[in-house]
């Protein structure tokens, strides 16, 4: 797989919660950090996402917001 995104994190699916249209996918990366993504239910089913499956979290954003206390 070759993609233009620079932030690609390998992890495992911790949980998939399907809704009527979208699915919430929780990916655990090494070190225990969790990344949560909302994708279409059809995409989750097509990818065969299930607990324990190895996946990649691909992050590409044009904006990053930073906040402080």
| Secondary element (H or E) of residue 45 | helix 41-46
Distance of CA 32 to the CA centre of its chain: 14
Average pLDDT score over the chain:
93
Amino acid 20: pLDDT: 97
Amino acid 1: pLDDT: 77
Q: What is the CA radius of gyration of the chain?
A: 13
Structural domains of the chain in order of their starting residue, each with its CATH number: 8-58 (2.40.50.100)
The phi and psi torsions of 39 (rounded to 5 degrees) equal -130, 170
Q: How many CA atoms lie within 13 A of 50 on its CB side?
A: 3
The pTM of this model reads 0.85
Mean pLDDT over 43-57 rounds to 97
């Amino acid at each position: 797989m070759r993609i233009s995104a620079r932030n690609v994190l390998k992890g495992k699916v911790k949980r998939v919660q399907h809704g009527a249209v979208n699915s919430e996918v929780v990916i655990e990366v090494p070190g225990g950090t969790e990344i949560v993504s909302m994708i279409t239910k059809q995409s989750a089913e097509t990818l065969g996402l299930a607990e324990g499956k190895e996946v990649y979290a691909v992050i590409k954003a044009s904006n990053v917001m930073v906040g402080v206390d």
